[in-house]
Structure 1
Amino acid sequence: MTSFILFIFIMSFTPGPNTIMAMLSGQNMGFKKSLPLNLGMAIGFSVIGIIIMFFATQVQGNQIILFLMKIIGSLYLGYLTYHVYNSKPSKNEMMILGFKNGLAVQLTNVKVYLYFITGLSAYSLTGQLGSMLSRLLLMIIMGSLGTLSWTLFGQLIENTYKKHYKIFNTVIAILLIISIIDLWR
């Protein structure tokens, strides 16, 4: 059970496309105005988790599905990279980070698919976490806490971001590019 908890904690709180976008939204819009983005991410996260719960074994072994997810995820991350790199700290520029974008970033986030495939199919647990539904709920809660934490972190560094936004945007764009490269490893 400890390895499962450690796995979901690490996967939920380490950088990925969703956490990077959550941080960027917190920097530009603040925590409260970033809640629609986080809600979109939580719903996308939940939808993926439920689907994977029913099809974990089939998806895990299907190279065609995984390849298509990588292509779609790479294209969407490329789109986000372009907008992040070119954005300025103004509310008009950051309107791209609403509910629909939160949902879209999760639905195209291969890290989320791998998170659920691994967490729901690779761990055999006993007790309350022996139930796949219990593991799913814990994974959704932990994943949502991860993005909310990154949003809060983004808000905490908001003033620094506004002074040095080009450096931050460049670093975030590079991290998104690394995420794209990481998809293909």
Structure 2
Amino acid sequence: MNTTLFFGLLAFSLVSAFTPGPNNLLALAQGANFGYRKTLPHVFGVGFGFAFMLFLMGAGLGKLFEAFPAAYEILHWGALAYLVFLAWKIANSKGFHTAGPESGTEAGRAEGSENAAADSKPITFFGSAAFQWINPKAWVAAITLVTTFTDPASYWLSLVVAGAANVAIAISAVSSWALFGTIVKKWLSDSRRFKIFNWSMAIILLVSVVPSVLKGR
């Protein structure tokens, strides 16, 4: 891979990874609800999940879906159902607002934390990795990287470089959004703001994949 192609790859990946999208919106919501540490499985799931998707696309998965469109439809609509489930979880998350009967006491706060953990859980590593298959932004990025930023003279090497670069960039980007979520967490200490925030994140998440539904695939 020549230098010009490599820097073009970095520029595209940085813009694609740091701008708003489903992965970053989920990180923002989870950071605000559960804190940074508990959002890390999502952060790493995005990075490695996208890299895995990129390698499969580079190995010809797109052609396989063209040959067997029913397989894509099953994957696509199953993933959409999972996304609706994620949006529902965000909208109904109690996060750090769940409290015990004596919420003003240490025991009440401890019980509240246990109830919150039981009622609402952050997305797992594998759940986040699987989510890449419904994320329209991930599809566009993967297709663009494979078709535009790989070198025919050293195809597999350039694919590995693209995958490694995007693992690092995606983890940095999603991590930044998760940290921002922890910053706004203080502002969300008001239960009404907290509820509005979660419902807004859920709605925006659903709206972000409308193009994927409308294109009929």
TM range (shorter): 0.7 to 0.9
State which drifts further: 72-81 or 116-125: 116-125
**Which residue does 1:30 correspond to in 2?**
35
Shift of 1:113: 2.9
Q: Distance in 1 between matches of 2:34 and 2:62?
A: 40
Residue 116 (structure 1) aligns with: 142
Question: In the aligned structure 2, how far is the partner of 1:177 from the partner of 1:145?
Answer: 24
User: 2:17 matched to 1:12?
Assistant: yes
**Closer/same/farther in 2, CA of residues 100 and 133 from structure 1, 3 Å limit:** closer
**What RMSD over aligned residues (CA atoms) do the two structures have, in Å?**
2.9
Decide whether the 8 Å contact of 2:135 with 2:209 is kept in 1. Answer: no
Q: Name the aligned partner's letter for residue 53 of structure 1.
A: G
Q: How does 1:47-126 map to 2 (within 5 A)?
A: 47-55=52-60, 58=63, 64=69, 67-90=73-96, 91-92=116-117, 93-123=119-149
Distance in 1 between residues matched to 2:59 and 2:88, nearest whole Å? 35
Task: Return the TM-score normalized by structure 1.
Answer: 0.82
Partner of 2:188: 161
Provide the rounded CA distance (Å) in 2 between the counterparts of 1:5 and 1:63.
33
* Partners of 1:69 and 1:110 within 8 A in 2: no
- Judged with a 3 Å threshold, the aligned counterparts in structure 2 of structure 1 residues 11 and 67 are, in CA distance, closer, same or farther, namely farther
- Residue identity over aligned pairs, in percent, reads 24
Question: 1:114 is aligned with what amino acid?
Answer: V
Q: 10-19 vs 150-159, which deviates more?
A: 10-19
> Over alpha carbons, which structure has the higher Rg?
2
For the residue of structure 2 that corresponds to 1:34, the secondary structure is helix
If the length of structure 2 is used for normalisation, what is the TM-score?
0.71
- 8 Å CA contact 1:26, 1:151 repeated in 2: yes
C-alpha displacement of 1:68 = 4.5
Q: Secondary structure at the match of 1:87?
A: coil
Determine helix, strand or coil for the equivalent of 1:72: helix
Unaligned runs of 5+ in 2: 97-115
**How far does the alpha carbon of each residue in 1:131-159 deviate from its partner, in whole angstroms, 9 at most, with x for none?**
22212211222122221111111111111
The verdict on how the C-alpha distance between 1:119 and 1:143 changes in structure 2, with shifts beyond 3 A counting, is same
Secondary structure, counterpart of 2:149 in structure 1? coil
SS in 2 for 1:131: helix
Letter of the structure 1 residue corresponding to residue 86 of structure 2: L
Comparing 79-88 and 115-124, the one that deviates more = 115-124
- C-alpha separation between the residues in 2 aligned to 1:66 and 1:4? 27
Does structure 2 conserve the Cα–Cα contact (< 8 Å) formed by 1:17 and 1:105? Answer: no
Does 2:176 align with 1:176? no
Gaps of 5+ in 1: none
- Deviations along 1:85-120, one digit per CA (max 9) or x if unpaired, are 111223424314233432332344343233112112
Structure 1 contact 17–179 (Cα < 8 Å) conserved = yes
* Counterpart residue identity of residue 37, structure 1: H
